[in-house]
Structure 1
Amino acid sequence: MFTFVNGGEYTVYNKLLMHREFHQFNSRILKKTLVRIAAMQSGINKLPDYSGEVYRVASCRNGSTSIYNGIGDGGLNVNTITTTNTFVGACRFAFVVVEHAPIVIWTVIKTRHAKVQPDSLEEVTFPLGSSIEFTNIKQLNPKKIIAHIDSDAELKWIQIGSNYRPFIGLNLNYEGQKLPDFYFLSAPQQLRRFALAPITRFFEHSIYKSHAEKELEHIKRIPAEKRFEEMWTSRLDSTGKPGNLPEIIYLADAEEKPKSNLYSNRKVVTLPNMEENSVIVQQ
């Protein structure tokens, strides 16, 4: 099955960011959390709108035999229209959560009215019932992805929940075509494995910053042809293990459609360049 790592039920996403502050008895945080849940479920209109491109990542551990339910209840096929009845989340920047799996899907969605989430400048949701159409799907060989980075590039600090975390951005190209700029979380591995003690949490920002700055300088020295592979394989996935590059990365373009296009016939369609393997689409 596909494991969604940037949205949905936030299972893997929360594992990655499990060391958030705990506020069990803080009514203000509790209220914001309830608003956040309501927004994810209904696209509450009181949240500010966002129009533009948003991004999400999914990984497939079992290859082409898996059922892909896309953003909602459709399939990963050109001209397929899916709905957001089961999935509503995305990010306003190309946020890469590494999952070591044979197939990875990067989806770039042109949105009309996604809602910016409380307590986060980057997370968005779509109102339930929004329809999203896949307009183009390209198969990428991960070993051919070239990653550029400016010599004076700096860390990008992104608000995730109640915390700010450092990200390293790479300008990706594939066979001369520019891909979206992707950002990888730079986090000390030991901080992702263990809960922080109160005294350690006090110095948490400095620990993250020091680690990320060293990694940034290291990445700048790596040849562009090897940079993406280094960033990918050096990340730990949700199981806490490093891994290899995926066999295939699909870059999928999608667009939010008016609600009149909500319903569409579903059919089994073969993925690009994989004639012998078709993806099963739910009816």
Structure 2
Amino acid sequence: MASTSASPAFCGIPKASTTAARASLNAPSTRFLAKIPFRGLGFSAAVADPVLSHHVATRLRSFGSSSAKPVRGIVTMAKKSVGDLTAADLKGKRVFVRADLNVPLDENQIITDDTRIRAAVPTIKHLISNGAKVILSSHLGRPKGVTPKYSLAPLVPRLSELLGIQVVKADDCIGPEVEKLVASLPEGGVLVLENVRFYKEEEKNEPEFAKKLASLADLYVNDAFGTAHRAHASTEGVTKFLKPSVAGFLLQKELDYLVGDSHSTKHKDCL
């Protein structure tokens, strides 16, 4: 695949000398998520339409049940949330995180709204503060093959700033070079894979492509509700090869919101 950016050397979590700096990593807050409007995170239809909200919530009630059948695009997860994973579960583990970093960029490749990036931070901070090696995956736009303007490279500086560490970007999302970067990833480090939609196999949910993505990690976290309802390789296919597969803080928040909404509308004559 064509290269879209250079990959700098890894720099792990900075050794913070102050209590406040350490606390920012060891106690990631999810309060920020409560302030984010759902329309900014990709599932505005369910919020705007109570009928659709009820329908989606009803289908998602079995989410997290080991005995339930998986809903298309939303996988059944043994442990419901990333918050259920302890330091013992995470330390030294390679964690594949599917986030929704599909942010708007201007003609100069400058981020004009970083809401989705900020929304992904609590989950990532929880993982790195517990010694996990985070492999961050996302799409950006609707590219037809490798398209430089849809590279995730412009997002890396903002991610690094928000996380307080040097985030590294791969020039691809699969392949030998990516495997080398993953192998050198330190505990508490973050590697951003290139746009998964540079491969047509992503949206086709090709098993071999999903298997290659899954081979990079030990467990899976889905924190991209805006695309979680789509059965793509990075949202559904990888879960066939990675256990456990759990929801990130943002995904869990949105699922709880929808399920709660279904309880408030179930007695209404809207279906």
Q: TM-score range by the shorter chain?
A: under 0.3
Q: Which has the larger radius of gyration?
A: 1
Write 1 or 2 for the structure with the bigger share of helix: 2
Q: Identify which of structures 1 and 2 has the higher relative contact order when contacts are C-alpha pairs closer than 8 Å and 6+ apart.
A: 2
